[in-house]
């Protein structure tokens, strides 16, 4: 008798979590991040569905699991935001800001160009969305590699990590503008770009991020101080999640992607805000949030992998698109080296460290599959498969390439950034 309803969801959830952790373990054993194993498990599971394995297709399209995956994306962006603070961004802005700007504009332009070249029949929105998927850098993957090889205190590492944080913000701004313009075009019933709408979306995005960061820095310490008066377990985590969900809802309500709000929530929260909780023996926020992420985030990656049609990559045009996007992703980030020439920094290592797209690029692509213009999805299934191929390749090539680059000059020691009293302002790990 086939399972339905809640029974199906809990059994499917058990399968997704078990497979995600097993393949995550295998990926780590092979020197790759666990997220890559989770994504590959989803890809393989999705192909089993194409072979007629009963129940796999139902997992992919189950609305309850889809909701859990969306929550996983919010928690993931919240975690990414927690890894940095507004003060740290200000410290790294002089050098890392320029690196990030080049590392966003160049891949976006290349991605748009690849779309216009290989997908000429699709709308400019589809081309712009392809560019957006190439903008953000997966800071978690690069940070793990740098820590593993003992190079996390080098000036190149500080520039890479700082630029990756700013990258995410600029990429989210682009995502907010492009996705908002697509929604507006769908409401108008035309695919023609409305530049007034784009300008308004840019202003709205800047106002939201600026307001969220400004008010959050002022209000969140007071909010946590009040919350610390409440008795019981889990108050700290609940307060942080309330802020995350509230900003996510606000972003969605004004026409932006909810993940923009989740990322902003992570940025505004600092460890100093919950020192009253720490004084009474509460664990660190990252530790409290980890069980929630362990449940929800793998669901997102596995389901995103299940949407990939490997058979589509056998089509010459789709394979050409995947290869072109991968090339644009790598070359676009190598342009970051142009921003640090003459500063005594290793431009090649910085460019390589910015290559992996990972989770953020995958979230962008997933959002694209939910948007449509003129009844046509912005990101078709075949295009989505090409984007996931790009994410996998850029994630896999970065660890060995970065290790080679950072050690290619024997005997190099950590240096200070020229013209600065210390490194880029990030605290030592």
What's the number of CA atoms in the CB half-sphere (13 Å) around residue 20?
A: 23
Nearest to 211 by CA among 367, 80, 82, 86: 86
* pLDDT score of 400: 87
Helix ranges (DSSP H) in 354-416:
358-370, 381-407
φ/ψ region of 189 (left if φ > 0, alpha if ψ in -120 to 50, else beta) reads left
Query: 417 pLDDT band (50/70/90 cuts)?
Result: very low
Distance separating alpha carbons of residues 326 and 111, to the nearest angstrom:
9
pLDDT of residue 118: 94
| Residue pLDDT, tens place only, 250-298 | 988 887 778 888 888 888 888 877 888 877 778 888 889 999 999 999 9
Inter-residue contact 179 to 257 (CB < 8 Å): yes
The beta strand positions in 57-191, using DSSP E, are: none
Name the residue among 190, 192, 115, 127 with its Cα closest to residue 375. 190
Distance CA 235, CA 288 (A): 11
Least confident of 176-190, 215-229, 276-290, 380-394: 176-190
Residue 202 has pLDDT above 80, yes or no: no
Closest CA to 390 of 349, 356, 351, 353: 356
Q: Are 379 and 365 in contact (CB under 8 A)?
A: yes
Mean pLDDT of 233-257: 89
What is the reported pLDDT for 81? 80
Handedness of CA 262, 267, 273, 274 (dihedral sign): positive
Contact between residue 366 and residue 308 where contact means Cβ atoms under 8 Å apart: no
Half-sphere exposure of 165 (CA within 13 A, CB side): 30
Written as six digits, the tokens of 88 are 């740290």
Q: Which residue has the tokens 């820590």?
A: 147
342 pLDDT more than 70: no
The answer to whether 340 and 155 are in contact (CB under 8 A) is no
Q: How far apart are CA 50 and CA 265, in angstroms?
A: 39
Q: Which strand (E) or helix (H) includes residue 372?
A: strand 372-373
pLDDT recorded at residue 193: 54
Mean pLDDT of 393-403: 88
Q: What is the enclosing helix (H) or strand (E) of 51? A: none
Is the pLDDT at 165 greater than 90? The verdict is: no
**What pLDDT score was predicted for residue 86?**
67
pLDDT for 185 beyond 80: no
Kindly indicate the confidence band of residue 134, based on its pLDDT and cuts at 50, 70 and 90.
very high
Using CB atoms within 10 A of its CB, is residue 325 exposed (0-12), middle (13-18) or buried (19+)?
buried
How far is the C-alpha of 264 from the C-alpha of 158, rounded, in Å? 21
Domains and CATH numbers, the chain: 7-203+286-407 (1.20.1530.20)
Start-to-end CA span in the chain (Å): 54
**Residues in contact with 163: Cβ distance below 8 Å, sequence separation at least 6, in sequence order:** 92, 96, 97, 99, 100, 103, 137, 336, 350, 354
Burial of 65 (0-12, 13-18, 19+ CB in 10 A): buried
Q: Is the distance from CB of 317 to CB of 118 less than 8 angstroms?
A: yes
CA neighbours closer than 13 Å in the CB half-sphere of residue 407: 11
* DSSP annotation of 416: P
* Averaged pLDDT of the chain: 82
Give pLDDT, residue 140. 67
């Amino acid at each position: 008798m086939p399972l339905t309803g809640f029974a199906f969801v809990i059994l499917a959830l058990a399968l997704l979590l078990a497979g995600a952790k097993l393949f995550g373990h295998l990926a780590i054993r092979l020197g790759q991040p666990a997220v890559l194993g989770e994504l590959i498990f989803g890809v393989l599971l999705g192909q089993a569905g194409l072979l007629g394995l009963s129940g796999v297709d139902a997992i992919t399209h189950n609305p309850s699991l889809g909701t859990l995956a969306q929550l996983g994306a919010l928690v993931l962006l919240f975690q990414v935001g927690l890894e940095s603070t507004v003060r740290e961004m200000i410290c790294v802005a002089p050098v890392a800001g320029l690196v990030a700007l080049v590392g966003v504009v160049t891949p976006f332009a290349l991605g748009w160009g690849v779309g216009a070249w290989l997908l000429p029949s699709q709308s400019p929105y589809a081309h712009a969305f392809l560019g957006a998927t190439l903008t953000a850098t997966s800071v978690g993957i690069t940070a793990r590699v740098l820590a593993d090889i003992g190079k996390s205190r080098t000036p190149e590492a500080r520039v890479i990590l700082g630029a990756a944080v700013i990258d995410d913000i600029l990429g989210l701004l682009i995502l907010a503008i492009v996705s908002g313009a697509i929604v507006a075009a769908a409401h108008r019933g035309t695919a023609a770009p409305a530049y007034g709408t784009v300008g308004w979306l840019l202003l709205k995005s800047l106002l939201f991020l600026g307001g969220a960061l400004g008010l959050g820095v002022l209000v969140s310490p007071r909010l946590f101080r009040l919350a610390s008066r409440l008795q019981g377990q889990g108050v700290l985590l609940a307060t942080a999640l309330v802020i995350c969900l509230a900003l996510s809802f606000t972003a969605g309500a004004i026409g932006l992607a909810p993940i923009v709000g989740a990322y902003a929530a992570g940025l505004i929260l600092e460890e100093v805000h919950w020192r009253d909780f720490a004084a009474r023996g509460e664990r660190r926020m990252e530790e409290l949030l980890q069980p929630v992420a362990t449940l929800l985030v793998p669901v997102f990656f596995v389901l995103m992998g299940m949407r990939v049609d490997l058979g589509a990559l056998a089509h010459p045009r789709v394979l050409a698109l995947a290869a072109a996007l991968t090339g644009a992703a790598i070359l676009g980030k190598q342009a970051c080296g142009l921003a640090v020439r003459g500063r005594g920094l290793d431009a090649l290592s910085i460019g390589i460290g910015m290559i992996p797209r990972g989770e953020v690029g995958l979230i962008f692509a997933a959002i694209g599959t939910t948007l449509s213009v003129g009844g046509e999805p912005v990101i078709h299934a075949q295009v989505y498969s090409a984007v996931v191929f790009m994410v996998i390749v850029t994630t896999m090539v970065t660890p060995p390439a970065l290790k080679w680059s950072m050690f290619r000059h024997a005997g190099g020691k950590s240096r200070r950034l020229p013209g600065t009293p210390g490194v880029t302002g990030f605290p030592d790990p």
